[in-house]
Amino acid sequence: MTQNGNKESVSVQGSTHEKYETLIARCKDLEPVTTAVAHPCEPTSLKGAIDAANAGLIHPFLVGPADKIRQVAAEASIDLGPYEIVDTPHSHAAAARAVELVREGACELLMKGSLHTDELMSAVVSRDKGLRTERRISHVFIMDVPTYPKPLFITDAAINIAPDLETKRDICQNAIDLAHILGLEQPKVAILSAVETINPKIPSTIEAAALCKMADRGQIKGALLDGPLAFDNAINKEAAETKGINSPVAGDADILIVPDLVSGNILAKQLTFLASADAAGIVLGARVPIILTSRADNVRTRLASCAVAALMAAARHSRMEKISV
């Protein structure tokens, strides 16, 4: 958002990532969402927040050591414009204050700056002063893979290290709910393992089968689930047909549920560095969406992360309006 109130077009030219550009374009009629940016104290994180503000996606509250933020802005020629700086002494305090701004209702989104993810999430999951809900918190990468015909959701590759079955149930439902907000009425969920058959020696195959039965019994709602599926069977129809897998999910997945954080993180980074994919990260299951960006993210990816969060905030407003009628 420029200082005169107009949305600024942030250039992502030369891109083959039209899925993200379509996502960002969906936000053009939305008001910028107030966002607590925790500790944006190096050029990339600060510029990411200001770029998203200039694109009209967010209205940032820059939470951290004020002198440091101004110094970084000056050295990187970043115009802080009208955006408020909320002074804190260090990154730990910045995380706590950013969460507090959300709890107070001053901000509707939370965004990671240059502090470590664990430091921010420690404030988020605090039992007394955090942003917990009855749902377990999980992370989703919304990936724009040039060789795949639609956005690909990968979860959980950043928060839950070795999730048990109950946690995987919430990981599934969080991703499904996000997919609904982004316009998928009945997303196709592939639960990944190394093979597509049940093998008692591979626990992820047992859990995949259990999750599918949980969907049959209404414990997971709003999607088609299938698993276990090996990665090739989940995203390639020919591979699925070769294995004789007859499933509406196999070869056409929207959401990939990975066995654990390690496998998910490796998968997302393989797609990023070997297939030129972009990976927009968002944390779900807290009171508000949490924009989780990496210093390696390009402008397009940062804007896509903010766009997803803005669409989630708009959906929340819509639900609240329906409840109040």
pLDDT tens string 206-252: 999 999 999 999 999 999 999 999 999 999 999 999 999 999 999 99
pLDDT of residue 297: 83
The pLDDT, as a whole number, for residue 323 is: 63
The per-residue pLDDT for 9 is 45
Provide the pLDDT for residue 83. 92
**Residue 3 scores a pLDDT above 50:** no
Angle at 276 between CA 275 and CA 282, to 5 degrees: 105
Q: How far is CA 63 from CA 39, 274, 309, in A?
A: 5, 35, 19
Percent of the chain with pLDDT over 90: 86
- Mean pLDDT on 307-320: 89
Question: What is the average pLDDT across 75-81?
Answer: 92
Q: What does the alpha-carbon distance between residue 239 and residue 230 come to, in Å, rounded to a whole number?
A: 10
pLDDT tens digits for range 111-151: 999 999 999 999 999 999 999 999 999 999 999 999 999 99
189 - beta bridge partners? 225, 255
Q: Is the pLDDT of residue 8 over 60?
A: no
pLDDT band, very low/low/confident/very high, at 322 (cuts 50, 70, 90):
low
Give the three-class secondary structure for 83. coil
Summarize the confidence of residues 151-171 as an average pLDDT: 97
Half-sphere exposure of 13 (CA within 13 A, CB side): 2
Looking at residue 192, what is its pLDDT? Answer: 98
Q: Using an 8 Å Cβ cutoff, are 281 and 158 in contact?
A: yes
pTM for the whole structure: 0.91
Per-residue pLDDT, 10: 44
Residue 52 phi, psi (nearest 5): -65, -35
The CATH architecture one would assign to domain 29-132 is 3-Layer(aba) Sandwich (3.40)
Q: Which helix (H) or strand (E) holds 57?
A: none
pLDDT average, residue stretch 30-50: 95
Q: Which residues contact 32 (CB under 8 A, 6 or more apart)?
A: 1, 53, 56, 57, 58, 59, 310
Which CATH number is correct for 136-285, 3.20.20.70, 3.40.718.10, 3.40.50.300, 1.10.3720.10? 3.40.718.10
Q: CA-CA distance, 80 to 61, in Å (whole number)?
A: 11
Dump pLDDT digits (tens) for 180-196: 999 999 999 999 999 99
Q: What is the mean pLDDT of residues 154-169?
A: 97
- What contacts 103, CB < 8 A, 6 or more positions away? 129, 131, 287
Q: Which residues of 22-36 are buried (b: 16+ CB within 10 A; e: fewer)?
A: ebbeebeebebbbbb
Residues of the chain with CATH 3.40.718.10: 29-132, 136-285
Mean pLDDT score of the chain, rounded to an integer?
92
